[in-house]
Amino acid sequence: MGPVESVLNEVQDRSWRWHRDAAIALLLAVLAFAIRFKHLDFNSLSEDESAKWTAVQEYRHGHFVGVNSEHPMMLKVLTWSSLAAGERWNRLATLHGWPTMSPEGWLRFPNVLLGAAASAILFLFCRRMMGLVGSFAAGFFWAVSPLAVALNRLAKEETPLTFFTLLACYFYCRAQQADSGESARRWYDLSAIGFGLAFASQYILHLLGLNALAWFLAGRMGLTPNPSRFSYKRFFLVIFLTFILVNPVVLFPSNFSGILHWLHHDGVTHTGYDFDGTLYMNFPSRLFAGVPWIYYFWLLLTKTPIPILVAVVTGSFMLLRERRTLASCFFLAFGVLQLAGLSVSGAKWVRYSLPVLPFLFLAGGYAVQAAWDRMREKRISPAFAGLAAATLFAAPFLALHAWAPYTSFYLNSIGGGRKNLARYFGQDEVSEFDTREVAQQVCSSANGGTRLATARPMSMTYYVANCDRTDIEVVPLYDRHYQPRQGDMIDLEPSRRFFETQRFFDTLEKSDVSRREVRVGPVLASTIYLFDSGKPKTTDQEQWTLTPLRRSPSELETKTHKPDFRSMNFVVASSVSHGEGNDDSVFPRF
């Protein structure tokens, strides 16, 4: 074979590999999108999503400065565009009889797109470090992981932050592995743009440092080109310009002041996180004194399908042992170190784990690739290889399908499955799951001028206004100055239990006041009480009334009953109770 033919064959081979990888990346993105898009508008808006909705309405009126200023503009602009496109689509679809989607779905649609695209980027990123099978496994794990799916279906900043960071890391890796200096410069510029967009998604800087750490470790292992073709000035200038172009409001003093206030917790109106039945303080500064350090380890252990978990654990041990690989450098920086930092911080939320997941799935893909290589060496029978592949890929997909549309509740057998629903992470899993249903109950029952006290005032105000009951006054239940009045409706949600609201749980749950329970799918999400200060309750021959509600909580930790749900009923329902009975006729009109 002559030199010309050899070059042509190499070009054709590269072209074939590029088209094959592009097709697989597209396939993963389509799969991830289909999973995330289904029933996207099923959940009610959360409090944070309601803040995004309010910000979009301000943007529509030309007000950009001082609006939800603790967060950058990126996600708000994306949701604004999505809602505008959704309104046009719904009008057109109504005329032609096509499917429509409610505003909740359109608000979340940008994150669904970014979450789906992240599956493709993770595959392409892993292809720079491992074979085709392992890279596909990593992208597939992201596509079907219930934890990643649930978080991508929220209009929160962690999804664009994770996507653009992953994209920037991929471009940086391409720059490091480029054949020429000019090509490397282009990839570095694209990487800088990616990091600029990540900063414009959320004011988080440490992910850029973790990328630098990964490549510092790679340099120590001799895995980077020498001499370096990286230009610090150009790189950080491109980051800065991208960040300012996409997020210009950060230059206004009022927005900068809002960021500082947020960093100092000046806007915190309620405190506490209920983890496994115990209420903990949830501030970053409390470090080990806040939510227990095992939180994220238990989260990953119980919310990852068992086949994926086995792959991740196996790959983690392999990468800790085989440290002279680029995959190990990224796993140590973005996986191990980031997870350790999150565990030390006193403030913990499920969504904070999202930027860690791609690099844990990278470890899982590394283990799958090693297993595949070993099977090829040992000439394992195709039947066995097919069975192993079916277990690894089909089992998580089937588990995800079985839990839909309640993906956020998913627990594997280690976490107890369906019998432990909402036990460990209820504040993130349930949260405002049923606000729409509670508002419908209230709107159909409340007398004019009724006061509704709830721990989700923003989202509740939105849904009460949607049913044209502007006469209902929605007040924050966690307001320390709130004191119940005769006829108030008090909405208690176990998933919104804070130190400021614990007194209501302690008192109302034991009282004889009229109540109505609202169940969404498998869990009791809320109980609506009609406040009556004259309702007594007898306990141990002692009479007491609802006057303890005038007191303020003082303890830092409070135990509560741990729910135990033995079966799942995937139907939205409400039940009515008065004292010990269940009779609609005895529940008064609110």
pLDDT tens readout for residues 555-580? 333 343 333 333 333 333 333 333 33
Q: Residues 148-156: what's their mean pLDDT?
A: 96
What was the pLDDT predicted at 580? 36
Q: Which residues contact 399 (CB under 8 A, 6 or more apart)?
A: 146, 305, 410, 412
pLDDT band of 434, cuts 50, 70, 90 = confident
What was the pLDDT predicted at 364? 97
Do 587 and 516 form a contact (C-beta atoms < 8 A)? yes
pLDDT tens readout for residues 212-235? 999 999 999 988 887 778 899 999
Q: Does residue 544 register a pLDDT over 50?
A: no
Place of tokens 């993770």: 122
Predicted TM-score of the model (pTM): 0.89
Place of tokens 């909740």: 104
- 3-state SS assignment for residue 130: coil
Task: Give the C-alpha separation, 586 to 305, whole Å.
Answer: 45
Task: Give the C-alpha separation, 58 to 371, whole Å.
Answer: 53
**Cα dihedral: 36, 40, 45, 51 (round 10):** 60
pLDDT tens readout for residues 472-483? 999 999 998 899
Q: What is the mean pLDDT of the chain?
A: 86
Task: Give the C-alpha separation, 35 to 40, whole Å.
Answer: 9
Task: Give the C-alpha separation, 501 to 490, whole Å.
Answer: 11
What was the pLDDT predicted at 569? 34
- 3-state SS assignment for residue 590: coil
In the chain, % of residues over pLDDT 70: 88
Q: Does residue 56 register a pLDDT over 50?
A: yes
What was the pLDDT predicted at 542? 31
Identity at 477, one-letter amino acid code: L
Tell me the C-alpha to C-alpha distance, in Å, between residue 139 and each of 121, 134, 360.
8, 9, 11
Q: Does residue 546 register a pLDDT over 70?
A: no
Beta strands in 259-329 (DSSP E): 273-275, 278-280
Size (the chain), residues: 590
Identity at 531, one-letter amino acid code: F
Task: Give the C-alpha separation, 575 to 74, whole Å.
Answer: 41
What was the pLDDT predicted at 266? 64
Q: Who wins on pLDDT, 250 or 258?
A: 250
Listing DSSP states for 493-521 in one string gives -GGG--TTTHHHHHHHTTS--EEEEEEET
Q: Does residue 511 register a pLDDT over 90?
A: no
The residue among 310, 297, 300, 319 whose CA lies nearest residue 137 is 310
Tokens, residue 541: 């021959």
Task: Give the C-alpha separation, 278 to 561, whole Å.
Answer: 9
Any idea which of 234-248, 286-300, 372-386, 398-412 has the lowest mean pLDDT? 372-386
pLDDT band of 535, cuts 50, 70, 90 = low
